[in-house]
Amino acid sequence: MYKLLFANSRGEFFDYPIQPVGRTGEMFVEIIDEDLIPLPESAGLVMLPQSHPIGINKKGDFVLLKENPYGPGPAYPVGATLPQGYSRTLLPGYRRAGKKPLPLLGYAAVVLKDERLYVAAMQTDETVKWNPRYYSTENLPRLIDRRLEKYPQNRILRHLAHCSREYQCFTAQNIFYQRWEGGLPVSPACNARCLGCISEQPAECCPSPQSRLNFRPTVKEVVEVGADHLEQAADAIISFGQGCEGEPTMAADTIAQAIRHMRALTPKGTININSNAGYTGGIEKIAAAGLDSLRVSIISANDQIYRAYYRPRGYTLDDVKKSIKLAKGRGVFVYLNLLTFPGLNDLPSETHRLLDFIKETGVDLVQIRNLNIDPDYLLEKLPLPAEQPMGIGHFIAALKEEVPVGNYSKPLR
């Protein structure tokens, strides 16, 4: 029998002998073996404040565990946060008691069985390069200082140093480790107001977990960081469009010039951009300059749901399609960065629309991205159809029949 996990007000975790419940969209479901894998070593456990967990008692009834059965005070739900390479299949089963949205995390259902923790997830990519053991190492401060000494006036490097130290950002740290995918933020401006934006949120919502870039880098600053990484790093990727910035195509002229300068210095490595692809003119400039890959963020191929989440300024989902087709025409490898949420993407109509979108645009690979957001806050904003979800596992299987599936970008050169 699986046991429900809960936390007290001090953040201590307990188990309770009732059947735990998962959630998909607004629907609560019993958690079964096929939903679960052992909790990965680098996963985390988090308490969901202002909420209470739900379980199933011996009579088969759903019960709300409001009070801590082992002491005074309320019982709070516990969720898991997953490392790269794993895709969430169920949300934790709980009811929110407060009105303030939860912090921007990708909450997954977690349970206990035979003194071992299990999570509602599946592995969808290899995990070696994104294992936390390879980050925030003892030598990182020395590597940061060495690079800052080489380019003391480079504001991007100073910004990435801050992200490396304060937020433990992996793509920022990779710039200083000189390996793999390194982040290269360029744009403080954005043409969307995403509900789950991790760098800018309205005061009444959840706090952003990181601060947004507050300057416009010069072409020289971009080239100093990017060319070094492309030339020196193992499996080198530089990626414009990080979580600490707005929409990178808002700086299309800077990026296009920087790409041409970098390619004049080195043919090595992969140049990637993470974008909402709404500004087709910007995508055209950047693709023409020599872009290798484009990762397009999308939550749905349904225009109503897309607009409700991204709240775009001056572009439409049709513009996103045009951008992808234009990039493909230039020989750019295109990923979909699919913001994934149980009970949304796995609705039958959503799956069919997405598959049609992939066929029409010629997308090369779909990256599954666990959407970090309060489930109730998200569902209050989206006009979802009244359908029964097929389950994230079945949804991913349907995707794999049409296109490769993974979790992150790969080196192309």
Among residues 123, 148, 178, which one ends one of the domains? Answer: 123
- Residue 411 resides in a domain: no
The tokens 């977990």 sit on which residue?
Answer: 209
CA 181, CA 173: separation in Å to the nearest integer? 9
pLDDT at 34: 92
Tell me how many domains the chain contains.
Answer: 2
Residue 35 CB-density burial (10 A; 0-12 exposed, 13-18 middle, 19+ buried) = buried
**pLDDT band with cut points at 50, 70 and 90 for residue 204:** low
**pLDDT band with cut points at 50, 70 and 90 for residue 43:** very high
pLDDT at 203: 59
Query: Has residue 110 got a pLDDT over 90?
Result: yes
Contacts of 189 (CB under 8 A, 6+ apart): 246, 247, 250, 251
234 and 269 belong to one structural domain: yes
**pLDDT tens profile 290-328:** 999 999 999 999 999 999 999 999 999 999 999 999 999
27 and 94 belong to one structural domain: yes
- Residue 379 resides in a domain: yes
CA 330, CA 343: separation in Å to the nearest integer? 36
143 and 73 belong to one structural domain: no
87 and 156 belong to one structural domain: no
pLDDT at 413: 82
**pLDDT band with cut points at 50, 70 and 90 for residue 212:** confident
Length of the chain: 413
- Residue 413 resides in a domain: no
287 and 203 belong to one structural domain: yes
- Residue 310 resides in a domain: yes
Query: Has residue 208 got a pLDDT over 80?
Result: no
Strands 13-16 and 19-24: what pairing? unpaired
135 and 187 belong to one structural domain: yes
- Residue 412 resides in a domain: no
CA 139, CA 270: separation in Å to the nearest integer? 26
Distances (CA, A) of 160 to 141, 321, 373, 387: 12, 32, 24, 44
**pLDDT tens profile 51-76:** 999 999 999 999 999 999 998 999 99
Overall average pLDDT of the 41-57 stretch:
95
| Other beta carbons within 10 Å of 340 | 23
With contact defined as beta carbons under 8 Å apart, do 52 and 141 qualify?
no
CA 12, CA 76: separation in Å to the nearest integer? 10
Among residues 123, 145, 163, which one ends one of the domains? Answer: 123
113 and 137 belong to one structural domain: no
Among residues 123, 151, 174, which one ends one of the domains? Answer: 123
CA 78, CA 100: separation in Å to the nearest integer? 17
Overall average pLDDT of the 156-170 stretch:
95
- Residue 188 resides in a domain: yes
- Residue 160 resides in a domain: yes
371 and 273 belong to one structural domain: yes
**pLDDT tens profile 256-277:** 999 999 999 999 999 999 999 9
Q: Which of 135-139, 211-215, 282-286, 370-374 has the lowest mean pLDDT?
A: 211-215
pLDDT at 199: 81
Q: What CATH number does the domain containing 242 carry?
A: 3.20.20.70
Residue whose C-alpha is closest to residue 192's, from 333, 369, 320 = 320
Residue whose C-alpha is closest to residue 226's, from 144, 297, 157 = 157
Contacts of 2 (CB under 8 A, 6+ apart): 19, 20, 31, 111, 112, 113, 118
With contact defined as beta carbons under 8 Å apart, do 357 and 299 qualify?
no
220 and 296 belong to one structural domain: yes
pLDDT at 211: 81
118 and 158 belong to one structural domain: no
CA 149, CA 172: separation in Å to the nearest integer? 17
Mean pLDDT, rounded, of the chain: 95
241 and 310 belong to one structural domain: yes
**pLDDT tens profile 364-411:** 999 999 999 999 999 999 999 999 999 999 999 999 999 999 999 999
Residue 368 CB-density burial (10 A; 0-12 exposed, 13-18 middle, 19+ buried) = buried
Q: Which domain holds residue 368?
A: 128-406
34 and 161 belong to one structural domain: no
Query: Has residue 285 got a pLDDT over 80?
Result: yes
